[in-house]
Each structure stands twice: as structure tokens, then as C-alpha cells.
Homo-oligomer: A and B are copies of this chain.
Amino acid sequence: MTDYPIPAMDDVELVEVLRAVADPIRLQIVRVLADGRPHPKSMTEWGVDVQKSTMAHHFKTLREAGLTRTIVSGRTHEIQLRRDELDERFPGLVEALLRD
């Protein structure tokens, strides 16, 4: 079974979060995830037109930067924004990313 470790939110640095979202595709992924619900990795509604392997790279970058978690249930892999934790650690940041 593949493991998807995430950093403790207290260890997450703002600069790393900014670096992660300073990319048009990853910003778009965060916006889709902003509802706080788990979304299947395979969903076609990401609104971006890139290879699966590219998406896998972006998902990994977001997870390692502390923005998301991966939920595995059977064959389904879902991505979820750590919205509550992010809002507590970086008040107003996620909200600001949605407003452009």
C-alpha cells in the first residue's frame, strides 16, 4: 500500500505554501478543492488539460507543501484540501486565493 505522508501543520511554512500555489495548475486545483470535500484524483472536472503524470506531480507538490491530504479507500484515491487547518494556521490565505 502506498503511503501519503503529510507534514504537521505547525511545521508548514507560509513561503512553502506560496511556492506551491504559485503555479496556474496547482492554483486551479486548490480552487476546485476549496469546498473542503475529498475529490477523486481521476475527476475530469479539474479544469486543466494536462497529462495524468503531470497531475500526479502537482498533487504530490501540494501534499508535501502541507496543503492537501490523500485519502485512500480501496482503489479510489481522493484529494482533500486541509482547509480547516490552513484557515487556522494562515487566516484568510485560502480565501484570498479564490478571489481573482
A residues with a Cβ closer than 8 A to B are 13-15, 18-19, 21-24, 27, 90-93, 95-97, 99-100
Contact = CB atoms under 8 A, between A and B. Distances in A.
A70 B14 CA distance: 26
Nearest to A97: B14
A92 B92 contact: yes
A14 to B, nearest CB: 4
5 contacts: A18-B18, A18-B21, A22-B22, A92-B92, A93-B96
A19 B15 CA distance: 10
A100 B90 contact: yes
A95 B97 contact: no
A54 B8 CA distance: 32
